[in-house]
Amino acid sequence: MAITDRSDTPDSDIDLTPVDVAGIVSHVRDTYNSGRTRPIEWREEQLDGLVRMLKLESPRLEAALAADMGKPALEGFTTDVGFIATEISAIRKHVAKWAKPRKVRLPMSAMPGKGYIVPEPLGVALVIAPWNYPINLLLLPMAAAIAAGNAVIAKPSELAGETSKALAELIPRYVDPEAIAVIEGDVAVATDLLEQRFDHIFYTGSTDVGRIVATAAARFLTPVTLELGGKSPVLVDDSANIEVTGRRLAWGKWLNAGQTCVAPDYVLVTEKTRDALVDSMRTAFDEFSDGNGTQDNPDFTSIVNERHTTRLQGLLTGHGGTVAVGGESDLDAKHVDPTIIVDPDADSPLMRQEIFGPILPVITVESMHEAVEFVNDREKPLALYVFAEDDEKADELIANTTSGGACVNHVIQHLVPADLPFGGVGESGTGRYHGQSGFDTFSNLRSVLKKPTKMDLKMLYPPYTAKKEKMIRRFI
């Protein structure tokens, strides 16, 4: 089954020379079957290698991100290099503990005996990463898979061609290349990969491609983790701190030019609060750009390619709303201004498609009750954001909606704590990772019950006398 991505032809000169995908996968599997990846020491060495690579090669990786997307060096370091090094270091610190058998308390009916859960590696994991955070979303799942003792095939996105090339060259220098392979390529290579048998597939990207990945995995009953997207709503209560809310929402659309799976996708707010919120976001965008706009601004990321720029330009027309901020774009520069559109038509493409860009619709509702209904009438989002100074109202809004993750009084920040599992629900994905949840995702949590032979309760065996039945019914 052919795989397609959020874009077609990459805006890079990535080498698309045919790759022996089956041969590479077979070699990596032979390495896994040798038992090489199971020792904790091997896992720790690979994690150390990834951290070392991120620290030593940071300038090259940041330069690659800038070449692919015009990403500011600080933003590239924060979202794709430094933050990842910190989390992988945390995984390395805990991997030995996570890999130990976990004792389980047994009920009286299972005594005497001992019960425990043994985390064991699944085998060979495939990690397919997207272009928007091409280092982050490749290395973090890889680190989780390695920590669990798996061998890994990593497929970076060809749409971030310079970053893909850098990762393909650097990763084998810092980790075991016999057990961890990076395969570059286009859609044909991704399709070929999905024809192979893996023990786990981790895919980050669009919902449409997620369905293709799940279908391909079903052929071998391969478990999948799908980190997808969708339209992540923001509910702004009248009690919200509007100045801070506007600044944080503006930042959520400024970061990576809105090309983030958990970026705020639309805002629900009452008429009482709407205009002040729009003014606050306008002020924040102006402050972020130092009053000079975002065209040619070194602190504002480009759109990944011309196709996506054209797609976003299409969303800027025919929406039926009012452009309150921004609205300008430049195809040649792959640039779209941070834009706020008030009350677009609910059936417009702007409100039906995941925006994945610096455009933010603001929808007027009569109450937060109507806002909750609006959210619940649509597919379950990857993230949901609530802004409210009233804690009870915030808790109520969280309790009456559902999403993969949620954040109160900020956006995107719920991805930062490693102990908060990250993932989607329904159309926005399946499975969790970050911290121990990632380790567990790539592990077979094997249940083991150990029974002694010194005490063999004959009441369990036939013939089932009335006395045995009375005792068994009493204790079970």
State the catalytic residues: 227, 261
Examine residue 463 and say whether the peptide bond preceding it is cis (omega within 30 degrees of 0). yes
If you search the block for the tokens 């995908």, which residue do you land on? Answer: 21
Cα 374 to Cα 417: distance, rounded to the nearest angstrom? 29
Residue 379 to residue 265: CA distance in whole angstroms: 13
Q: What is the separation of C-alpha 38 from the centre of its chain, rounded to a whole number of angstroms? A: 26
Give the E-state strand segments of 146-287 in sequence order. Answer: 151-155, 180-182, 200-204, 224-227, 233-236, 266-270
Q: What is the number of other CB atoms lying within 10 angstroms of the CB of residue 223?
A: 18
Give SS3 for 380. Answer: coil
The sign of the CA dihedral 443, 444, 445, 450 is negative
Distance, CA of 200 to CA of 223 (rounded, Å): 5
| Six-digit token string for 176 | 């075991």
**How many Cα atoms within 13 Å fall on the side-chain side of residue 435?**
10
Which tokens hold the place of 396? 């109520």
Sheet containing 429-430, strands listed edge to edge, beginning at the edge strand earlier in sequence: 180-182, 151-155, 124-128, 200-204, 224-227, 429-430
